[in-house]
Amino acid sequence: MTVLWIVNIVVLFVVIPVVVLLLAGVLKAAKSIPPTVDAIAGVAQAASRDLDAVVILLTTQNYISQIVAGLANYGGSLDAALPDA
């Protein structure tokens, strides 16, 4: 019977405070998650606005292809017009 009382006292004064401290740490960590998620959401939203310019890049790539083709034609014309040096 004495051993039972000793175990009860150890549980009351040692185990329960340790469990409470561990749970407090878990609660603190859980409460820190929403601000971090909100910060990540803001950065992701700004990054998606940066991706709106990708459509313009496709247009630019098309223009560059046309310019390169025109320069290639010009170079071919120069080969035909100028004698070999």
- Splitting the chain (85 residues) into consecutive groups of 10 residues, what average pLDDT does each group show? 88 90 96 91 84 82 88 72 64
The pLDDT value given to residue 85:
53
Side-chain half-sphere exposure of 24, counting CA atoms within 13 A: 6
pLDDT score for 24:
97
**Residue 26 phi, psi dihedral angles, 5° rounding:** -65, -40
Full DSSP string of 23-84: HHHHHHHHHTHHHHHHHHHHHHHHHHHHGGGHHHHHHHHHHHHHHHHHHHHHHHHHHHHSPP
State the pTM of this model. 0.47
Total length of the chain: 85
pLDDT at 57 (0 to 100)? 84
pLDDT for res 81: 67
According to the model, what pLDDT value does residue 26 have? 96
